[in-house]
Chains A and B, each alone.
Chain A
Amino acid sequence: MLSPLTHDDPATVATYRLLARLGSGGMGTVYLARTPGGRTVALKTVHARLATDPAFRSRFRLETDAARIIGARHGAAVVDADPLAETPWLATEYVLGPPLDDAVALGGPLPEPTVRAVGAALAGALAQLHASDVVHRDLKPSNVLVTAYGPKIIDFGIARAAGDDHLTRTGAAAGTPAFMSPEQASGQEHPPAGDVFALAGVLVFAATGHGPFGTGSPADLLYRVRYAEPDLTGVPEALLPLLTACLAKDPAARPTTGFLVDHLHDGHGEFADHLPPLLLADIARRATDVWLHAPHRLPAPAESAVAQTAPNTPLSRRRALALGGGSLLGLAGAGAGVWAWLNSRDSGRSTGGTPAPTGPTAVPATTATDGAPAPLWQHTVLDREERTTQLLAGDDVVGFAETVSFRAVDTKDGSELWAESAVMHPHQITTDGTNYYLSDGNFEGPGALKIRTLAPRTGKEAARTIQLKGIDGTTTELLTASGGLLFTASRLGKREIDPDADNVGWHLLAVDLRTGKGAWRQPYEWDGVRPWLAQVVGDQLILGKNSGDLKTFLLQARDTRTGRQLWKRRLPLVDSDSFIPGHLTTDDRHVYTGGDRLRAVRLSDGAVAWEYGTGTAPLRYGIPVVAGSLVYTNVSGQGLVAVETTFGIERWKEEVGSRPLAPDTLSKPVIGTKYAYAPVRGGLSAVDLSTRTSAWVFPTDASRYVVDQERSRIIGAGESSVVAIPFE
C-alpha cells in the first residue's frame, strides 16, 4: 500500500527519486521510487545502524544475490543494487499483487482452486531455487505476493547458499516460528525439504486463514512445530493427504517439489482463471493506483497530529443564525451546533416528528463504569455554544475557541498558556501545526484582511502580520493551512450593509505565508453557505460544504498550486438529520463521509469508490475516522463498525454488551492500539480491539476529541469541561 513519505525520508537514494513508502520494518524501509527515465521500482534500503554492521551487509548482499537467482518469473525482478553504498539499497520491480496474508485478510480463506494454483506455482519456484543450491528458509504468507500471473517469493533476508553456515554462526534470528520446519525449530540445518514443510504451512494458511500450528508465543510455536500434530481444520478434503505428507516431522518423508507441482494442479487454464473476484479486484486496483499516486510528504510529527484535526473549521455562523433565528446556538465543527443547525431546517415543515436517536442529553448515570481511567487533568471551560474548535499545534499545545475567546492550553496539565479575545469565531483561526494563524474578524478595518501568525506556546507574533487589501476581512473564513499556504474563503471588496451585496465576489484565496502575498484566487458561486471544511492531501485541497438549498453536501477538490477545480461531487443530504457533516476524513486515496451511508469518494476523480450500508433503515453513519487500512464509524443504535478502506467490506462490528450505550454519530471516534474510543451519549466508550466490546465508559460531556500522540493522551472538550485521559 502506498503511504506518503515522512518528513525525514530522503528525497533521493542514489539516482532514484522517492515517491512513496511501501513499508518499513526492523531492517529498513521500502520505497516506491523512480529513475530519471521514469522507471518505477520498489527500493529497499537498510537502516543506517544496521549498515555499519559488516555481518549485516553481507546478509544484504546475499539477499540481493538470491533475489537475482530466483529471477523475474518467481520473484521480484532485480533492477539494480548497491550493497556497498553508505545506505545499502536494492531496487526491484514493484510487484502488482498483495501479500498472501493480506489477500486472506481481504476476502477470507482462498478457494481450493486458488490454493492449488498458488501451491503448484510456489512448488515450481522452490524447485528452481533448490536447483541453484539456495534454500529460502523464511517462506511465510507475508513473503508471497500474489500477482495475476502467479505468486512471487520475496524477502530472502536469511536466504543463503546451502552448506554455508556462516550466517547461522552469527546467530541472526532465522525463520518465523509459525511457519518454521521442525529441523529449523530445533536449531538444525534447514534442508530443501524444510521449505516444503513451510510451503504446506503457507497453503494451510491460504485455505483456512490460520497456520497449521496456530499462534502464540515463539516458544509455544517452536514446541508445537517440533512435537504437535498440525491443525488442518478447514483444509479442503482433497488437499489433506498432500499437505499432511508435507508436514511430516521427518524431512525424508516429505514429497519433493516436483511431486507437488504435478499433484497440486493439473495445469489447465491461466493462473488468473483461478483467482477469486476480490483478489483480482485488489490486483487491478494496485495496477491502477500506482499511476494515480501523487507523491507527497508528511509534515513533521507535531504537524501530522494536526492534519487530523485542522479541518475542524466550522460552518458559517451567519448562515446558521439566518436559518434558525437568534436563538440558535450556531457554531460547531462537528457537534451539537451542527445538529441544531441542521434540525432548524425542519422547524418550518412537518417531518413527522422522527425521534432523533442522537443528540446531547444529560449524562446517564449508568455509563460511569468500573475500569474507566481517572482523568489526567480536567478543567472547566465556558463554551455553552459548544463551538469549541480544537487545534493541536506543536509544542504540546491544544487550542480552543471558546464563547468569548481563543484559549491555548498545555496538554501536559491543562494550564492556560495564553488567550486571545480577538477571536470570537472559530473560523477566524487555523493552524498548519507549526503556528496559529488568525484574522481579526469583526475588528478588521474595511476592505482589509489582516492575518497574524502566533507561536503556539507563547501566543506571541511569530512573523510579520500579513495584510491583504480589497478583501472583506470581517466575513473571511480561514480554512486551513499547509505547505506554506493558507487557504481562505473571502469576499472581495468592503463589508456591505446591504445583505444582498454579500452574495457577490466570493473567492477561494491562497496566501503565501512566506511572502505574505496572495498565491491565487478563484471565484466560487455563493449559494448562501460558505465552505467550512477543508483538508489538504498532497497537492489537493479538499473542500466540503452543504449546498445552499440544503439538499446536497458538496465535495470538491482543487489544485493547491493554482486553485483550479479538479472535481466536484454531490452527496445526498436527503434528510437534514440523516446527513451529519463533520470533519473531512481522508487518507491517501479517499475522502470518507457518513450520513445515510458510509461512503468513500476517490481523491483522484471524485467518483464514489464504495458505499457501506443500505441507506434504507433508519440507521445513521457517524463521522468516520481512518486508522491504517480500516475506517471506523459509529452507527446509530448499533455501535462502532470497522470497514476496510479499499472495497468497503465490513471487518467487524462492536459486540453489544449488557449496558445500553447510545452511539454519538456527531463526534469523531479516536483509534488507539488497545482501544477504539467511541463517543457515546454521556461519555467516551473504550471498545477493546481484541474483544470488540466496550471495556469501560469515561463519563464526560466532551463532544470532540484530539490526540496528543507524544504524550499518549486524548483531550476532549465539551460545553463545560476540557479533560485529558490516557490514550492506549
Chain B
Amino acid sequence: MERSRREQESARRRQESIPSGPESVPRGPESVRLSHEPARPPQAQDPARPFGPHRLITRLDPPHASPPCRRYVARTEDGERTVLLSTPLPGTDPARFAAEAVAARYLIGPWVAPVTSVAGPGEPPWYASPYVPALPLPVALAVHGGPLPEATVRAVGAALAEALAAAHGHGLTHAGVSPASVLLTADGPRLTCFGAVRAASADGEPRTGLPGIDPGSLAPEQAAGGRPRPPGDVFALGAVLAYAATGHTVPERDEIPPALRSSIASCLARDPADRPTAASLTFAPAPPPTASSSPTGHATTLNPAGGLLAPGWLPGRVVAALARQSAELLAAELPVPARA
C-alpha cells in the first residue's frame, strides 16, 4: 500500500514537473512592461465573467499545478481592493464548493486566509480573502531550488498545527490540507482551500483520482471514502511537512531531517488512532531564543508558532519571489472603463 502511494505520487510529479513560479510573475525586470498593458486576459479555460465586483488579474498557481481549487489574484473594478479569489475546479460540484465557502468563514486565526466575501445567491461560486503576497508551497520549493531549510519547515509545521488545533477545537475539520493549499507569506503560512476533500465527493465513495485531490496528502481512511475528521488533517499536515523538507509527500524516512523525523512520521501513521492531535504537535527547536535584545524579538509566547517566524525564517529567494509578486501586482492595472 505504501508502495502504491509512492507510485501515485511520483506519477503525479512526473505529470506536473516542477513549476517555475506563478505564470504572471515573470523573471526579468524587463517584464515590468506588463503593467503598462491591460491585465493579462484570463486563460481560455478560465471563466471570463467577473466574480462579483472583481476582475481577474492573474492566476496564483503555475499552469501545470493542480491545487484543490482554482486561485486567482483579482481586483475590484474600482481598483481599490485586491483579493485572492478562489473558485471551484472545472468538473467539481459548485454547490458543494459554495457550502464549504460559507463554512470557511468560521475559520479564523493568523494562519488561515480569512474569507471576507463570498458569491451572492444565484452567482457562480467564489470566495475571496484580502490579497497579501503569497506563494503556494510547491512554488516556494521551485524558486528556492529544492527542499526548504529545516527552520522554515519547523515554522510552517508549528503554524499549521496551531491553525488546525484551533479549527479542531471548534469542531471543524479542514479537509483540504495539501502542499498546494498551503501558501507562504512574509509572516507565516496561510491555509486555503478549506473543505476541498468534502467538496470533491460525497462521503462513502472512494476518493481516488479526483481532480485537485493530492493522493499523497489524503489519509487512507479518507481515500477509502471515510468522512474527513481531524486525524485526517494531521496526516495531511505530515505529508505537507514531508514535502517541504524533501520535495515529495511520501519520503523515505532517512530523507527527513533527523530532528523532524518522529513528528512527521507520527502524523503519517496509517491508523488514525496512532496519530498525534494537532494541539500536541511541537516543532520548537531545543533552546528558545533568550536575550531580550536579540534580533529574534519575534519569539512571542502568544502565537507559539510566531516564535519560529523570526527574521530569516524564509530563505532569500522565497522572499525575493514574494517581493517580485508584490511589485508585479502593485504595477498591474485594470483597464479603466470609459467614463460615461
Q: Does A278 reach chain B (CB closer than 8 Å)?
A: yes
Name the A residues within 8 Å of B110 (CB-CB).
Answer: 605-607
Write the B308-340 contact mask toward A (1 if CB under 8 angstroms, else 0). Answer: 001110101101101111110011111110000
* Contact residues of A between 588 and 625, Cβ < 8 Å to B: 597, 599, 605-615
Q: A288 and B185 in contact (CB under 8 A), knowing A38-B79, A648-B298? A: yes
* Contact assessment for A287 and B327 in the assembled complex, using a CB-CB cutoff below 8 Å: yes
Choose, from B173-181, B246-254, B289-297, the stretch at the interface.
B289-297
**Cα-based distance from A268 to B156 in the complex (angstroms):** 29
Say if the beta carbon of B29 comes within 8 Å of chain A: yes
CA gap between A207 and B327 in the complex, in Å: 28
Chain B, residues 109-135, CB within 8 Å of chain A (1/0): the string is 010001000000000000000111100
Q: In this assembly, does A50 line the interface, its C-beta being within 8 Å of a C-beta of chain B?
A: no
Contact A288 B186 (CB under 8 A): yes
Q: Is the CB of A288 within 8 A of B330?
A: no
Closest residue on chain B to residue A605 by CB atoms: B110
B299 to chain A, nearest CB (A): 7
- Point out the residue from B132, B317, B319, B336 that lies within 8 Å of A291, measured CB to CB: B132
- B7 at interface (Cβ–Cβ under 8 A)? no
- State whether B314 touches A608 (Cβ < 8 A): no
**B80 interface residue, CB < 8 Å from A?**
yes
Find residues 131-157 in chain B having any chain A CB closer than 8 Å to their own CB.
131-133
Q: Is the interface of B mostly helix, strand, loop or mixed?
A: loop
For residue A539, CB closer than 8 A to chain B, the reply is no
Q: Are B330 and A278 in contact (CB under 8 A)?
A: no
Q: Are B333 and A287 in contact, CB atoms less than 8 angstroms apart?
A: no
Given known contacts A39-B333, A280-B316, A280-B319, A292 and B298 CB-to-CB distance under 8 angstroms: no
Q: Hey, what's the 0/1 contact readout for A72-96 against B, CB within 8 Å counting as 1?
A: 1100010000000000000001101
Pair B330/A647 contact, Cβ less than 8 Å: no
Once A38-B82, A288-B187 are accepted as A-B contacts, the answer to whether A608 and B133 lie under 8 Å apart by CB is no
In the complex, whether A283 has a CB less than 8 A from a CB of chain B is: yes
The answer to whether A270 and B295 touch (CB under 8 A), given A37-B334, A288-B187, is no
Question: Residue of B at shortest CB range from A613?
Answer: B292
In the bound complex, residues from chain B placing their C-beta under 8 Å from that of A607 are 110, 187, 303, 306
Q: Do A73 and B29 have beta carbons less than 8 Å apart? A: yes
B-side contacts of A37, CB under 8 Å = 79, 333-336
The reply to whether the CB of A40 lies closer than 8 angstroms to some CB of chain B is: yes
B300 within 8 A of partner (CB): yes
With A39-B330, A281-B312 as contacts: A287 and B298 at CB distance below 8 Å: no
Residue B301 is within 8 A (CB to CB) of chain A in the complex:
yes
* Chain A neighbourhood of B78, CB < 8 A: 38
B316 touches A38 (CB 8 A): no
Partner of A288 from B133, B297, B316 at Cβ < 8 Å: B133
Q: What is the bound-complex CA distance between A282 and B316, given in angstroms?
A: 12
Q: For residues 418 through 446 of chain A, which have their beta carbon under 8 Å from a beta carbon of chain B?
A: none
Size category, A interface: 35 or more
Q: Bound state CA distance, A290 and B133, in angstroms?
A: 10
Task: Report the minimum CB–CB distance from B325 to chain A (whole Å).
Answer: 8
Q: Is the pair B300, A287 in contact by a Cβ cutoff of 8 Å?
A: no
CA distance A273 to B319 in the complex (A): 10
Q: How far is the CA of A72 from the CA of B290 in the complex (A)?
A: 42
User: Is A284 in the interface zone, CB < 8 Å from B?
Assistant: yes
Which residues of A are found within 8 Å of B291, using beta-carbon distances? 614
Q: Which of B290, B322, B336 contacts A284 (CB 8 A)?
A: B322
The answer to whether the Cβ of A312 comes within 8 Å of any Cβ in the partner chain is no
Does chain B have a CB within 8 A of A571?
yes
A-B contact count (CB 8 A): 171
Q: In the complex, which of the residues B114, B133, B187, B330 contacts A93, with contact meaning CB atoms closer than 8 Å? A: B330
The interface residues of chain B lying within 8 Å CB-to-CB of A290 are 326, 330
Which A residues lie within 8 Å of B312 (CB)?
277-278, 280-281
User: By the criterion CB–CB under 8 Å, are B320 and A272 in contact?
Assistant: yes
Complex Cα spacing A678 to B236, Å:
52
Contact indicator A272/B302 (Cβ below 8 Å): no
* Given A148-B319, A280-B319, A610-B300 contact (CB < 8 Å): yes
B316/A107 in contact, CB under 8 A: no
Kindly state whether residue B70 has any CB partner on chain A within 8 Å. no
Contact partner of B327 (CB less than 8 A), chosen from A96, A274, A569, is: A96
Docked CA distance A165–B311 (Å): 47
The bracket for how many chain B residues form the interface is 35 or more
Closest A residue to B317 by CB, please name it. A272
A113 CB to closest chain B CB (Å) equals 11
User: In residues 634-649 of chain A, which contact B (Cβ within 8 Å)?
Assistant: 643, 647-649
Do A148 and B300 form a contact, CB below 8 Å, given A38-B332, A649-B293?
no
Q: Is there a chain B Cβ closer than 8 Å to A275's Cβ? A: yes
User: Which residue from A35, A272, A605, A643 sits with its C-beta under 8 Å from B319?
Assistant: A272
Min CB gap B141→A, angstroms: 16
**Contact partners of A97 in chain B: CB under 8 A:** 323
Nearest residue, chain A, Cβ from B112:
A605
Complex: A468 Cα to B223 Cα, angstroms: 60
A611 with B297: in contact, given A38-B79, A280-B314, A292-B132 (CB under 8 Å)?
yes
Of the candidates A36, A270, A272, A278, the one whose C-beta lies within 8 Å of that of B336 is A36
A107-148 Cβ-contact flags toward B at 8 Å (1 or 0) = 100000000000000000000000000000000000000011
User: Would you call B330 and A94 a contact (CB within 8 A)?
Assistant: yes
Q: B residues within 8 A CB of A599? A: 300, 302
Report Cα–Cα, A94/B76, bound state, in Å. 21
Partner of B295, one of A107, A273, A570: A107
Question: Does B166 belong to the interface (CB within 8 Å)?
Answer: no
CB proximity of A620 to chain B, nearest CB, Å: 13
Q: Name the one of A40, A72, A285, A606 contacting B186, with C-beta atoms under 8 angstroms.
A: A285
What B residues does A96 contact at CB under 8 A?
A: 323, 326-327
Q: Which residue of A lies closest to B81 (CB)?
A: A38
Interfacial chain B residues near A259, Cβ < 8 Å? none
Interface centre among B29, B32, B131, B330 (most CB of A within 10 A): B330
Give the residue name and chain of the B residue nearest to A607 (CB): B110
Asked if A572 CB lies within 8 Å of chain B CBs, one says: yes
Judge if B8 is at the interface, Cβ distance under 8 Å. no
Asked if A147 and B323 sit within 8 Å, CB to CB, the answer is yes
Chain A residues, CB < 8 A from B92: none
B75 on the A face (CB < 8 A)? yes
Pick the most buried of B29, B306, B332, B334: most chain A CB atoms within 10 A of its CB. B29
Other-chain contact of A610, B290, B297, B325, B332 (Cβ < 8 Å): B297
The closest CB in chain A to the CB of B33 belongs to A72
Most chain B Cβ neighbours within 10 Å, of A284, A570, A614, A647: A284
Contact with B along A673-709 (1 / 0, CB 8 A): 0000000000000000000000000000000000000
Closest residue to B145 on the A side, CB-wise? A270
Closest to A295 in B: B80
Does A377 sit within 8 A of B, measured CB to CB? no
Known: A35-B336, A284-B319, A572-B301. 11 other contacts (CB 8 A): A35-B79, A37-B333, A38-B334, A39-B331, A72-B30, A273-B316, A281-B319, A288-B133, A291-B130, A292-B130, A614-B291
Task: Provide 16 A-B residue pairs closer than 8 Å at the C-beta atoms, listed in order of the A residue.
Answer: A34-B79, A35-B79, A37-B79, A96-B326, A270-B317, A272-B319, A277-B311, A280-B316, A288-B322, A572-B301, A610-B300, A611-B297, A611-B301, A649-B293, A649-B295, A650-B297
- Residues of A whose CB lies within 8 Å of any CB of B are 34-41, 72-73, 77, 93-94, 96-97, 107, 147-149, 270-275, 277-278, 280-288, 290-292, 567, 569-572, 597, 599, 605-615, 643, 647-650
Identify the B interface with A (CB < 8 A). Answer: 29-30, 32, 35, 75-76, 78-80, 82, 108, 110, 114, 130-133, 185-187, 290-293, 295, 297-303, 306, 310-312, 314, 316-317, 319-320, 322-327, 330-336
Question: What 10 pairs between A and B have smallest CB-CB spacing?
Answer: A38-B79, A277-B312, A648-B297, A281-B311, A284-B186, A272-B316, A148-B320, A37-B333, A287-B326, A272-B320
